[in-house]
A and B are shown apart, each in its own frame.
Chain A
Amino acid sequence: MIGLARVDERLVHGQVLVGWVPHLGARRVVVADDEAAGSPLARAAMTLALPPGVEAEVDPVKGVDWEALAGSPEAVLVVFRDVAEVERALAAGFTPDRVPVLNLGNVHYALGRRQVTPSVFLSGAEIDGLRRLAAAGFRIEARAVPLDAPIDLAEIERRWNAAG
């Protein structure tokens, strides 16, 4: 079962391991990211912070066996770098019936991105991408840690428009 899919530019970090992993009771974290998968330093670093009993793997987006993850008996947490990567994964079999929620955690400021939550900045293309993902059936929310109140796509769009 995929407990949560998260968009987080920082990939595996404290909010993920201290916040979400215990919250979901997850035993496995899958980082779906081509860049990290291609870097020995990144692969070594990803396993640094894992609490005892939790495993992590770093795979290219097209290399993840989504069916196997969805069928695994234990909760799995999947992390993507950005919205575009989620869309690539959708094309590769990461379908909405395999995950209940798509969470936006950290998307840093960059030129052309507007702020929608304290930790999420999105570009117009990313808003369009989220709309397509929602149309495909994903439930989209933005929140950094489990204790924060989730913000849904309608509110994200409203804030994005207000920030323009």
Chain B
Amino acid sequence: MDYLVVAVVAGLAAVERKGFLQAMLSRPVALAPIVGLALGDLPGGLLLGPPLELLWLGAVNMGASLPPNEALGAAAIAAAAVLSGRALGTGVTPAVAALAILLAGTLAALGRATDRAIEEWNVRLATRAEVLLDRGSPRAAMRENLYGMVLPFAVSAALAPAVAAVAAWVIPAVLRSFPALNAPLGWGWTAVGGLAAAAGARAFRSARGIGLFAGAAVATFAVGWLAGGAR
């Protein structure tokens, strides 16, 4: 049942990302919490959303060039983390999140390859629309456009739960066998967060951006530190 939910959410995200609407609902910052909510762990999803968003802020479909499929990656990572956290009874901890990224992150790269394959396959839809039009069936020809959403849905709906299932089996096993890993992996997750923020800043490709990024980071940290110290 959980995996069915993951399949539907990942499939809809794949459609929203390219075929219909593009309203940021398939961006990691929204999608990870949606997956969390659908699986009954909104806080877990909210923990994952921000770093994944920043990490893939530059994952943008420009013209005919394709980025990694951040939606597929985020859906699988969030599902893996939430289901592992539930199995462990701890919820999504930083250690769980770190392992989920490790195991499911490459799905974003695989998703880019499947996206490309889908675009090749879709040539048939366009060709078939031309044939139908020549035969005098404009309505049927135009329906071919909507059929283009079937394959992205199916591919993501198959891959996200499959990878999440494997990860949700491995992660609890690892953390149960090696509980000492929990704390160091928490540090690993911290490093990923810092890197994600840097990747986000890089994605803006602004000449002044690096200075602004560093200044804002130091200022935020200093203000927070002083406010915390005063307490």
A contact residues vs B (CB 8 Å cutoff): 10, 13-15, 18-19, 22, 106, 118-119, 144-145, 148
Contact A10 B65 (CB under 8 A): no
- Separation in Å of the B112 CB from the closest CB of chain A? 11
Q: Nearest Cβ distance between residue B109 and chain A, in whole angstroms?
A: 14
Q: Does B63 contact A (CB under 8 A)?
A: yes
Residues of B at under 8 Å CB distance from A? 62-66, 116, 119, 205
Report chain A residues within 8 Å CB of B63. 10, 13-15, 106, 119, 144
Contact A145 B116 (CB under 8 A): no
Decide: A119 near B64, CB < 8 A? Known: A18-B205, A22-B205: yes
Q: Tell me, in angstroms, the Cα distance from A118 to B205 when the chains sit together.
A: 25
**Cβ contacts under 8 Å, B116 to chain A:** 118
Q: In the assembly, what is the distance between CA of A12 and CA of B205, in Å? A: 19
* Contact present for A145 and B65 (CB under 8 Å): yes
- Residue in contact with B62 in the complex, picked from A14, A22, A118, CB distance below 8 Å: A14
A76 to chain B, nearest CB (A): 19
Q: Is the CB of A148 within 8 A of B62?
A: no
Given contacts A14-B63, A119-B65, 11 further A-B contacts (CB under 8 A): A13-B63, A15-B62, A15-B63, A15-B65, A18-B62, A106-B64, A118-B65, A118-B119, A119-B63, A144-B65, A145-B62
- Distance in Å from the Cβ of A162 to the closest Cβ of chain B? 15
Q: Please list 14 pairs of residues, one from A and one from B, whose beta carbons are closer than 8 Å in the complex, sorted by A's number.
A: A13-B63, A14-B62, A14-B63, A15-B62, A15-B63, A18-B62, A19-B62, A118-B65, A118-B66, A118-B116, A144-B63, A144-B64, A145-B62, A145-B65
In this complex, what residue of A is CB-closest to B205?
A: A22
Distance (Å) between the CB of A11 and the closest chain B CB? 12
